[in-house]
Amino acid sequence: MRAQDSATATTTITVTTADRTGGTGGAGGEESTVRAPTGGTVPTGGTARTRGARNTAATDTSGSRTDPLPRGTLLAALGVLSFSLTFPSTVWGLESFGPWSLVAVRSTLAALVAGAFLLVGRVPLPERRHWAGLAVVACGVVIGFPLLTTLALQTSTTSHAAVVVGLLPLTTAAFAALRTRRRPSRTFWCAAVSGAVVVLAFTVQQSGGAVSQGDLYLFGALLVCAAGYTEGGRLARLMPGWHVIGWALILCLPLMAVGSAVALSVEPVHLNAHGVIGLVWVAVGSTFFGLYVWYRGMASIGIPKASQLQLAQPLLTLVWSVALLGETLPLAAPLAAVAVLVCIAVTQRAKS
């Protein structure tokens, strides 16, 4: 474009436009030049500083804005904190409900809460092109992961399951790289793989090298959850995070409502305080609130970096397993905690 001013000479201004494509939150960009009556550099979304003139606002060519990095990291970390209570809450819920009943009822309750928020907010239906992605989220994080982990927790301890699921960050980063065709840096991958190796070594050491049926359920849960996280993180860049999980839950509501009726009629129910608290938390705390802040965080800082924050999740769950369930904390846990936290620090600094 050309800007003319009869009182000044025409000079060149460099405009930097941010690359907002992809789902990893990387900050690539390209530069172009425009002609203007005064010199200076105009960053997109910022201000134009000119000689002898006031600053003028520049337009963000992307037409949108992302949350600041610290806020996105805080939201993703809050999601991890919510998820860290999922396994202990599931164990509590199994005191009152069978595994199929617990999964169906938690999803039904979460869908009702989400539906109430969507109605109050008068949120319109998603565009047709988003429904396939929402179906992936629904199958991965609303049905697949809760069901497989609940079945695993019938035979596995909370601490063991938490460490196995510690491989989720690396699995999510791999799915994100394939889905978005963006490649994190070598440093990022080295730190991520190192964290996964620490978690895997911890798991093998605690289980004596044997792979149980519960472990197979957990490995399956890793795959479906990573796919759901990746697709949900992509959609959260196009719509609010609570819309993503809200519509994914609504999509599952008919199936989960029928499943609740059938499962409750077949499996015995023994209500107690632990069972009710566990059910309420996995339905509202983990499934709705946790996924809402998690997807918001992923949309802000990118899927690979957000996924690495989950390396802290098994360590937090170990703490809850001791405090809430009275399980014995493995001696290797403190060493694993230090190693994993170092890996998290490296991945957060590495360019994605």
Show Cβ contacts of residue 50 under 8 Å, excluding neighbours closer than 6 positions.
36, 38, 39, 40, 56
Q: What pLDDT, on the 0 to 100 scale, is given for residue 352? A: 55
Query: How many CB atoms lie under 10 A from the CB of residue 7?
Result: 6
Provide the percentage of residues in the chain whose pLDDT is more than 70. Answer: 79
Of the candidate ranges 38-42, 298-302, 306-310, the one whose mean pLDDT is the lowest: 38-42
Average pLDDT taken over every residue of the chain: 79
Structure token digits, residue 274: 């632990």
251 HSE (CA, 13 A, CB side): 22
Q: Which residues pair with 34 in a beta bridge?
A: 13
Residue 336 near residue 315 (C-beta atoms within 8 A): yes
Structure token digits, residue 265: 């009629």
Q: What is the mean pLDDT of residues 282-302?
A: 88
CA 90 to chain centre: 20
What contacts 24+ positions apart, CB below 8 Å, involve 88-91? 88/158, 88/278, 88/317, 88/320, 88/321, 88/324, 88/325, 89/277, 89/278, 89/279, 89/281, 89/282, 89/285, 89/286, 90/146, 90/149, 90/150, 90/153, 90/278, 90/282, 91/153, 91/158, 91/278, 91/325
CA dihedral 258, 150, 278, 231 (to 10 degrees): -80
Q: What pLDDT, on the 0 to 100 scale, is given for residue 203? A: 74
For residue 64, pLDDT over 70 is answered with no
Structure token digits, residue 9: 């000479």
**Distance in angstroms (rounded) separating the CA atoms of residues 255 and 346:** 42
Of the candidate ranges 120-124, 139-143, 178-182, 250-254, the one whose mean pLDDT is the lowest: 178-182
pLDDT in tens, 173-226: 888 887 877 777 888 888 888 888 888 887 777 777 767 788 889 999 999 999
The full length of the chain comes to: 352
Relative to beta strand 11-18, strand 40-43 is: parallel
Structure token digits, residue 28: 């690539």
**Distance in angstroms (rounded) separating the CA atoms of residues 130 and 287:** 20
Indicate if the alpha-carbon torsion angle 238, 242, 244, 247 is positive or negative.
negative
